[in-house]
């Protein structure tokens, strides 16, 4: 059985909720990623911040990214998956919520992220096509 832990990329890092968006952008560049999970003071997932969020919801709105925090960008209920979940569960969660990145948690700690690139590497062409159709479909 292939699990979330098998297909994730490890080394994912939190951005603390109190950090500013300019710091988040610097961390994204350093890690070469387009999204960071946002953690509260107890290292619990409270959102996900994307590079698009920074551009569209902050910069394009005329806000200063050095004054806006990651917490201010956290919206909705964050989704995650346990590292032991099978790939079918991963796909159901991502397709059902139309999400492109999914934090992977083990023993209440962030251990990795699953992104589109991870899916492209580990899924069959049929699974990937089904995922793409579900996630990118207009609802």
Q: Which positions ≥6 away from 130 have C-beta within 8 Å?
A: 91, 95
Q: What is the pTM of this model?
A: 0.87
Mean of the pLDDT values across residues 88-111?
Answer: 92
Instruction: Decide if 70 contacts 19 (C-beta within 8 A).
Output: yes
Q: Give whole-number Cα distances, 121 to 8, 32, 61, 66, 76, in Å.
A: 10, 18, 36, 36, 29
Structure tokens at 59: 């910069």
Residue 128 has pLDDT above 80, yes or no: yes
Residue 108 has pLDDT above 90, yes or no: no
Q: What does the mean pLDDT of the chain come to?
A: 92
pLDDT in tens, 9-55: 998 899 999 999 999 999 999 999 999 999 998 888 999 999 999 99
pLDDT of residue 138: 66
Mean of the pLDDT values across residues 123-138?
Answer: 86
Mean of the pLDDT values across residues 59-88?
Answer: 93
pLDDT of residue 3: 95
More confident residue, 45 or 76: 45
CA 125 to chain centre: 23
Distance, in Å, from the CA atom of 58 to the CA atom of 89, rounded to the nearest integer, reads: 33
Percent of the chain at pLDDT exceeding 70 = 99
pLDDT of residue 16: 96
Place of tokens 């700690």: 109
Residue 139 has pLDDT above 70, yes or no: no
């Amino acid at each position: 059985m292939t699990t979330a832990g098998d297909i994730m990329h490890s080394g994912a890092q939190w951005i603390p909720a109190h950090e500013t968006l300019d710091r988040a952008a610097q961390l994204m560049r350093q890690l070469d990623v387009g999204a960071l999970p946002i953690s509260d003071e107890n290292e619990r997932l409270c959102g996900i911040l994307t590079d698009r969020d920074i551009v569209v919801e902050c910069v394009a709105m005329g806000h200063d990214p050095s004054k806006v925090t990651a917490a201010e960008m956290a919206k909705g209920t964050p989704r995650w998956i346990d590292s032991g979940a099978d790939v079918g569960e991963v796909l159901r969660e991502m397709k059902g919520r139309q999400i492109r990145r999914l934090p992977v948690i083990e023993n209440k700690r962030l251990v990795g992220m699953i992104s589109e690139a991870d899916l492209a590497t580990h899924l069959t062409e049929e699974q990937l096509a089904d995922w793409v159709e579900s996630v990118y479909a207009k609802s």
